[in-house]
Structure 1
């Protein structure tokens, strides 16, 4: 992403209230707020025309962050329809020059849903979108708009649901090849996993190995590993597990606990 100067505005001075965000030299604008401020949100003129929007919350049964991605010619009307849906925060992205058409927002919705569905840590409430076919020039313009949306989302205090769009530092990043000291190894019982520290925690690389048997005292880790197997992040390969994609954990120890089948207070990762 390109360097950016971002302007955040708290409309009533409260960090948890309605806020707007803009990027210098960009025609887009974000409006975000909590469900408790729905009446005020419905009065925002920016939400009366075609927009892309996000609803975030938490699933009561699984405690996983939830995310709904929508498009509407009038977000105000759509929010009224969503009033009974379990959501905590909403964010909508508008075009200050009124240049977003129905086709544009359908294209953005489709691209965002595809990205979000790659996440194993967020429950996406809509899993399909027809998207829209755009002329080449319009698609290029919307790809730039999409990049700005993804740049602003983490700053809008929408909860962990926006982790669905988190950009992970991949094992394919040339920096990993040229800087071998940044790559760390975790070995146990002849199985090896590789990863590196990131700004948000620790990423384990695709094809890393993990033990197949859980430690007897690791009920919490066992449940997480079972969920990762269900989601397809881990797959069984003979006598061990394998990561099917790069995956970011909150810390090196959290990653090692999944690899080792439980937590232990020793040195997990080493250079190599």
Structure 2
């Protein structure tokens, strides 16, 4: 069954897209408030800031995202303390529920799960030293919190919080009949002189590089002007998505990229034009030519 669409309501409190905002989803009890540190006074004056909840502090360290995850029965008081004692963060996200229905056990469970997810994704430098203890909840309460987290994982990327966005894609279970071996939207990218040979599938708007694809072991391109790509390459090596094998490396998991050029750059270990580098397996066309052919089928 295909996933159902969801409706997300964003309210830009000061009328600016980069300012303070709230996020809510129809039929979801959760409430999310995002504010810059420079707007902390205004944020803490809001009613939900005094609720029991989980908060996220974001900043940067040498160009890499930095994150702290905490919980409190009064987030307003806790953030006042962090404003005095933590000078690295630039904005905060406060997560609570309507009518302040979350209690201490709920938010301790939520804090622990968010730390687990952030560590698994590896998209940010996590300031939490130890894994927070997960509170003991009933079976029903645990299911409710997992459902709460599922919706939260949709909301956070929508407000430009990507630290929990997992780009790893699961592989079919062994013994289960899979789709035909050659996907009509399968692409290859090879650089024989460097032993590079990668396969990717375009699915649901993502360029998914397949597990087992052979890529450059290290970033060999410009580190001054292509900071996003080389830092992403380093992160994928650090979190085990790219694993060293001799003079090359392989993808240990299927991994989704938001653009064909990002996928090509990580495979090549340098900047690369994904529109010309990726070759459509079924037709032998470059991605650009294949895309042109696809668009020509759209009715005038």
Shorter-normalised TM range: 0.7 to 0.9
Question: In 2, Cα distance between the equivalents of 1:213 and 1:168?
Answer: 20
Q: Helix, strand or coil for the counterpart of 1:88?
A: strand
Q: How many angstroms does 1:213 deviate by?
A: 6.8
Higher alpha-carbon deviation: 250-259 or 260-269: 260-269
Question: In 2, Cα distance between the equivalents of 1:146 and 1:115?
Answer: 10
Pick aligned residue for 1:147 from 140, 147, 150? 150
Q: How many angstroms does 1:231 deviate by?
A: 4.1
Q: How many angstroms does 1:237 deviate by?
A: 1.3
| Kept after mapping to 2: 8 A contact 1:192/1:209 | yes
Pick aligned residue for 1:184 from 183, 187, 190? 187
Inter-CA distance 100–207: structure 2 relative to 1 (3 Å threshold): same
Question: In 2, Cα distance between the equivalents of 1:259 and 1:16?
Answer: 33
Inter-CA distance 96–212: structure 2 relative to 1 (3 Å threshold): closer
Question: In 1, Cα distance between the equivalents of 2:236 and 2:12?
Answer: 38
Q: Helix, strand or coil for the counterpart of 2:151?
A: helix
Question: In 2, Cα distance between the equivalents of 1:260 and 1:148?
Answer: 35
What is the root-mean-square deviation in Å for CA atoms of aligned residues? Answer: 2.8
Q: Residue 64 in 1 paired to residue 100 in 2?
A: no
Q: Helix, strand or coil for the counterpart of 2:102?
A: coil
2:48 alignment partner in structure 1: 46
Question: In 2, Cα distance between the equivalents of 1:47 and 1:2?
Answer: 31
Question: In 2, Cα distance between the equivalents of 1:155 and 1:227?
Answer: 22
Question: In 2, Cα distance between the equivalents of 1:238 and 1:249?
Answer: 25
1:253 alignment partner in structure 2: 261
1:270 alignment partner in structure 2: 279
Q: Which sections of structure 2, spanning at least 5 residues, go unmatched? A: 282-300
Q: How many angstroms does 1:77 deviate by?
A: 1.1
Q: Residue 79 in 1 paired to residue 79 in 2?
A: yes
Question: In 2, Cα distance between the equivalents of 1:181 and 1:213?
Answer: 31
Inter-CA distance 43–198: structure 2 relative to 1 (3 Å threshold): farther
Question: In 2, Cα distance between the equivalents of 1:227 and 1:191?
Answer: 19
Q: How many angstroms does 1:228 deviate by?
A: 4.1
Q: How many angstroms does 1:89 deviate by?
A: 1.8
Higher alpha-carbon deviation: 34-43 or 116-125: 116-125
1:166 alignment partner in structure 2: 165
TM-score w.r.t. the length of structure 1 is: 0.83
TM-score w.r.t. the length of structure 2 is: 0.76
| Kept after mapping to 1: 8 A contact 2:167/2:257 | no
Q: How many angstroms does 1:236 deviate by?
A: 1.7
Q: How many angstroms does 1:194 deviate by?
A: 1.9
Higher alpha-carbon deviation: 132-141 or 21-30: 21-30
2:26 alignment partner in structure 1: 24
Q: Helix, strand or coil for the counterpart of 1:66?
A: strand
Name the count of aligned residue pairs: 263
Q: Over alpha carbons, which structure has the higher Rg?
A: 2
Q: Residue 242 in 1 paired to residue 247 in 2?
A: no
Question: In 1, Cα distance between the equivalents of 2:65 and 2:218?
Answer: 28
Deviations 1:141-172 (A, max 9, x none): 11111112112112324xxxx32222437253
Question: In 2, Cα distance between the equivalents of 1:13 and 1:214?
Answer: 41
Higher alpha-carbon deviation: 218-227 or 102-111: 218-227
Inter-CA distance 260–13: structure 2 relative to 1 (3 Å threshold): closer
| Kept after mapping to 2: 8 A contact 1:171/1:205 | no
Inter-CA distance 223–146: structure 2 relative to 1 (3 Å threshold): closer
Deviations 1:36-79 (A, max 9, x none): 111111212212131011112221x2x01122221111111111
Q: How many angstroms does 1:264 deviate by?
A: 4.8
